[in-house]
Amino acid sequence: MNNTLACDASSPMFPTLHHECTRVPVTALASCGALLIVAEGPFLRFHHAKDSRYISSKRVFKAQAVHGIRVFSEENAHIIKLVIWGGRLVRALEIHLAGQVGVQGLSLCFSNIAKASDWILDLAPRPKSLDDDSQYHKAACIAVTAHNALVQVEIEQRKSDTTQNTNGLDVSVFDLTSSSRSILYSAHLFWEDLDRVLVAAGTAFGEIIYWSWCDSIRDAPASRIHRVFLGHEGSIFGVQISKELPTECCQKLRRVVASCSDDRTIRIWDVSDVITSATTSEADDNDLEVLRTRHTGFTNEAFDSDEFNSSSCLAIGWGHLSRVWSVRFLEASPCNGSLLLQSAGEDATARTWELTPNPGNSANFPYKLLELDCAAHHSGKNLWSSVVSDVSTGVQQVIAGGSDSKVTATPLTRVLQAEKNLRGTIAEYTVNDILSWAQAAETGLDKTGLVQPPKSSKKAEFFRSYCFVDETSFLLTTNSGNVLIGTLSSTKVHNQSSLLSDSTLLDRLEDLSGYSVCTSGSRPGFAYVAGGSGNIYVYSKISATFTSLYAVGSKVGDIFAAELADSDGPGSTVLLVTLVGQGEARLLYVDPNCSTNIQRVVPIPVADSSTGSVITSMTYARASGRDFVMVGFRRGSIALFNVHNDEEGKHEATLLRVIDKAHGGEAVTSLTWQPSSEATGLGHLFSVGRDGRLCLHQLDSSANIVELVHDLALPFGPNIEGLYVQDGRLFIHGFSSKKWYLYDVTNEEEVMSIDTGGAHRSWTFRSHSSVGGTLVWTRASSMHICSQNGANHAVIRSGGHGREIKAVAVSPQGGSRSRQLIATGAEDTDIKIFQYAEKDFACRRTIRKHTTGIQHLQWSHDGEYLFSSGGCEEFYVWRVRDLSTSALDIGVVCEHVFVPESEHADLRLMSFDVITLGSAHTIAMAFSDSSIKVYRFDPTVTVKWQPLAKGLYFTSCLTQCMFLSITKVLTAGTDGHAVIWPLATETERLSGDSSDPTLQLAWHHPARIHQNSSKAMTCHSVDADTWLIVSGGDDGSLACILARSTSSHSPTSPATSYVSPPILASRAHGSAVTSCSLFKHKSRILLVTSGNDEWVRLWEIVLRKNDGEVGHEISAELGDALVIQRLGKVKTNVADVSSMAVLDKGDDVTDARVLICGVGMEVIRIAT
């Protein structure tokens, strides 16, 4: 045994645990003045409202998550007072913004923490009277609890005794009304006047109770119920009472109540006829109080009094795909007097609705809810919090926070269109509009007074093709051969049709009648058009000419343009012209000094047998003094040609290689070449296709080597149509279902989303110099134009997984990888690769291939390969590369897909372990049917995947699998036992039965470690022959095993596998131990554990000397080989902890850091 690991006689100081970074679901938001406040667990994060910059964070409660934030006083621009609640706890906060107080410019003053009698669902500050002098040092808020009772929260400002004469806050809570038998899931408070508050209460059983409470000076405090609304088919998760509506709104509705439910609907209820100030007798008040407290379940409206109950509603809105969590009214309303609402739900979307009268008599409802907009900028499930803000930008935007810990700001698009016509405007024009406009420009007549006469041609006139000339103008052709230039408006005016400011007819050519194609030039200001006869025309914006360029002699299939950069002068344009029915394409070099002159023509051979005959994309590259043409085909292949001079001095293109099935059997729609900054002969070829994937090939032109370094599915598709690199960021665009998307691959964020009707139509897109662009497309025979500057949403804080994280793995430090990468897998079936820097996480790549929740992740010892498993026997091998010189940053390729071997492929791969020897990775897998299988993966040989052995345990499920050596595997299962599986050496395996190379395994040496299942397992190498293994069980205990990696005793003896019997520590946690990690820190072996009790505990494991003991032992006897010592604990803010990993083991200078994963992520710093 290695005695150096034993504890010294003088025990060092116990380490302390600290929260360094917390990324958990956003549970509350508040927009107040210059600040945006975000609640994550028990913490508040403060951001600048104007530019979303992070300021600081502060813990509010010890462990309770914050559920709500309300502003109860804004005395001036520099002092903001808040009341914050979570569960039963409530606390006040005063924020001073004047000057640069403190390091971050904020001075925070917290009150004491008060506790209410029940959970608080909503809180509303009490309005203040102008003649009330106490309002300056005392404030009151009313809160409604989960049993439909009201409590009062009093906040009193007191003078401090300190020399700075600062103020303090005291909070106290007392009951106003008694609790009822109603169980509420939601509630909303609205002060009707200084003495009366309205309450809308949504019960767990689908009822909405509308009541009020009054504490007038003249009368005793009293509560009265006014309505009980029935109709929802599930629990009520959100309610809100509107303000008193103006007389012109919605046919003179005075006040309404909105509700959302488990049944996925949003409903509007009319309370305009409720007179809250009506007086009743004392007996009636008692009856009303009984009615308020009698609702305990789903009621039958037939037995309810019609005086207080109503099963009818004004309108029902359908749109959310799952439960709706919240609904609120918006302040701004369109000029037509309709009412706007905003909702958020379990489907992680925020939707905008408009309540308008329903003129049809066939419907049962007098009003209808129309969905105006849907913002889906979060991943996974659950948009827990949202708030509408218009302080920072002057326009309304929805600030939303979800379970992915992401915070976004989305402008209310339809409201903006109705008020200011800013971004996202869509203009529509018919072909007659465009031709009339062009005719008016030529004749000088008024554009608005012209009407296009009926066409005499037998051919229908419609838009044939589009292409942009530059950012402000585009060329379009019609079916009759008209060629026109459309000019976009550069000013913001209030008329939608102003997106197109001018239309000019260039020419009408019979050559282009019935068929035409066009493309944008590689340089702004040029466009190229071709028709069925083979004539190619060029349009120059500078000279305003449309002239013939070249004739190819046969029908042109398509034209592709690329720029050939030249260091000696202006870059020249290269055109690739495809010919219909021909076995070649032609490469045309346009004279850079004369745009109407072709310098040379190079034929490109097209072999139908190898690549197919239909070319769908092209790009041009110059590397190491050589010219290359990369061509994409409809069959999914990419061909690389070298353009050079032959022996006679003629230019020719030689096929170098074909990348077969680069995009499966789907068309390669766009190619982009990005030269490497590290070497002149290296570069990256980006490609997208209609298989919905983005591929990146690394090309070494000097050695003629092409290597695939990235191939992943994109979050939308499958019709990906284009890509481009701008300001170091990679953008792609294409169609998914009925929408067209522009997507930022580098930051993994959507930029534009437009409903176009689908992919099968004529269209063109031009990116702006800033983020955004202009899309022109045909829909229903009309031309539509949409221009957008900037992204359709802003990210205030980036997020992670939207579901529970089930596995985490940290890449090894050192070696070929320059940085540490963190891989996480969740129930949302995604694998995300993070980088932890500056006390925060940044997502570098998202891997989408699994169809089930991720079960386990593991890196290879050198960090080049990532292994992942899930349900349905899914097991993938990923190669992960650093691509710091490209716009992708990280490249991922799936190197192998495990083929399920069971009859129905329905087994869950519970756990696996990987051990590497040379280039071969040996993988042991534990399946849910109690079987264990061993395979070898070697990417350097012809047969990369090879089965080695398999075995079967009892009927209990195996949950853990771990290599002790290349010839030993340890497993644990739901029966609470650990067993050893001896593996044959390579020599023994090859000398066996050659007809069946897969050996049958048998387990040995069972050791009882838990009462039932092992939920987590970790290991640490003690010496060359000994492993320290720690298992956490669902009985709340820890089991420590010293296992041997080699057999030094009799194979039948347990001493062959274990140094000593397992050492158990019972009641280590108050619940199941679901994660644990071992690491060595400053010569000490530390163990970190966590479980469903949400405690993170730190332990030290000391290998015992033969004589002597160590203090503070909780499970050790004189004969034990090790002792376990408690060092400390801290409450984690991550619910349902499932896994953990060591980020930094620390040294004499730095502290150790451990990452905790579950519903969110949290870094715990271990200070020693």
Beta bridge partners of 1085: 1080, 1101
Helix (H, G, I), strand (E, B) or coil at 748: coil
- Token reading at 417: 């269109």
- Classify residue 1128 by burial, with Cβ atoms within 10 Å: 0-12, 13-18, 19+: middle
- What is the Cα–Cα distance from 967 to 987, expressed in whole angstroms? 12
Of the listed ranges 52-56, 251-255, 503-507, 1161-1165, the least confidently predicted one is 251-255
> Domain ranges in the chain?
424-605
pLDDT in tens, 858-888: 999 999 999 999 999 999 999 999 988 788 8
**362-386 mean pLDDT:** 87
Whether residue 74 has pLDDT greater than 80: no
**Nearest residue to 869 via CA among 821, 907, 812:** 907
- Token reading at 602: 């190079």
Q: What percent of the chain has pLDDT over 90?
A: 60
Going from the C-alpha of 448 to that of each of 386, 429, 444, 497, 930, the distances in angstroms are 45, 13, 12, 12, 78
Going from the C-alpha of 767 to that of each of 447, 744, 791, 1103, the distances in angstroms are 29, 12, 12, 64
Whether residue 1134 has pLDDT greater than 90: yes
For residues 594 and 515, which has the higher predicted lDDT (pLDDT)?
515
pLDDT in tens, 665-702: 999 999 999 988 776 778 899 999 999 999 999 998 87
Whether residue 455 has pLDDT greater than 50: no
**Nearest residue to 1090 via CA among 1077, 1100, 1079, 1075:** 1075
Q: How many CB atoms lie within 10 A of CB 51?
A: 9
Quick one: DSSP state of residue 838? T
Residues 6+ positions from 804 with CB-CB distance below 8 Å: 826, 827, 1136, 1138, 1158, 1159
Whether residue 948 has pLDDT greater than 50: yes
pLDDT for the residue 757: 93
- What is the Cα–Cα distance from 914 to 861, expressed in whole angstroms? 9
Q: How many residues does the chain have?
A: 1168
CB hemisphere CA count around 714 (13 angstroms): 36
Going from the C-alpha of 458 to that of each of 82, 438, 461, 480, 514, the distances in angstroms are 72, 22, 9, 10, 11
pLDDT for the residue 1047: 66
- Classify residue 453 by burial, with Cβ atoms within 10 Å: 0-12, 13-18, 19+: exposed
Where helices occur in 998-1073 by DSSP H, the ranges are none
Beta bridge partners of 869: 856, 875
pLDDT in tens, 698-718: 998 877 889 999 999 999 989
3-state percent breakdown (helix, strand, coil) of the chain, nearest 5: 5, 55, 40
pLDDT in tens, 279-311: 654 435 444 444 544 444 554 444 444 444 445
**What amino acid occupies position 1002?**
A
pLDDT for the residue 1052: 63
Do 230 and 301 contact (CB within 8 A), yes or no?
A: yes
- Average pLDDT in the chain: 85
pLDDT in tens, 763-813: 999 999 889 999 999 999 999 999 998 899 999 999 999 999 999 999 997
The enclosing H or E element of 288 equals: helix 282-293
- What is the Cα–Cα distance from 240 to 880, expressed in whole angstroms? 49
Q: How would DSSP label each residue in 925-972?
A: EEETTSEEEEEEE-TTSSS-EEEEEEEE--SSPEEEEEEEETTEEEEE
Do 303 and 295 contact (CB within 8 A), yes or no?
A: no
Q: How many CB atoms lie within 10 A of CB 1036?
A: 20
Whether residue 818 has pLDDT greater than 90: no
**Nearest residue to 619 via CA among 576, 657, 655, 557:** 576
Do 560 and 575 contact (CB within 8 A), yes or no?
A: yes
Do 810 and 858 contact (CB within 8 A), yes or no?
A: no
In which band, very low, low, confident or very high, does the pLDDT at 1050 lie, cut at 50, 70 and 90? low
pLDDT for the residue 695: 96
Do 1053 and 1119 contact (CB within 8 A), yes or no?
A: no
pLDDT for the residue 138: 82
**Nearest residue to 457 via CA among 439, 429, 482:** 482
pLDDT in tens, 141-195: 999 999 999 999 999 987 655 444 456 889 999 999 888 878 999 999 999 988 8
**Nearest residue to 962 via CA among 1014, 902, 900:** 1014
**Nearest residue to 956 via CA among 1000, 912, 1006, 1013:** 1013
pLDDT for the residue 1095: 95
For residues 11 and 1029, which has the higher predicted lDDT (pLDDT)?
1029
Whether residue 320 has pLDDT greater than 90: yes
- What is the Cα–Cα distance from 257 to 272, expressed in whole angstroms? 10
pLDDT for the residue 1082: 85
**452-471 mean pLDDT:** 74
Beta bridge partners of 518: 529
pLDDT for the residue 223: 87
pLDDT for the residue 93: 93
- What is the Cα–Cα distance from 1063 to 1066, expressed in whole angstroms? 10
Whether residue 1063 has pLDDT greater than 70: yes
Do 311 and 231 contact (CB within 8 A), yes or no?
A: yes
Going from the C-alpha of 1086 to that of each of 364, 1141, 1163, 1164, the distances in angstroms are 67, 13, 16, 14
Q: How many CB atoms lie within 10 A of CB 737?
A: 12
For residues 853 and 292, which has the higher predicted lDDT (pLDDT)?
853
Supply the pTM of this predicted model. 0.90
**Nearest residue to 539 via CA among 515, 521, 557, 522:** 521
Whether residue 1004 has pLDDT greater than 80: yes
Whether residue 956 has pLDDT greater than 70: yes
- What is the Cα–Cα distance from 1043 to 466, expressed in whole angstroms? 71
Whether residue 1060 has pLDDT greater than 70: yes
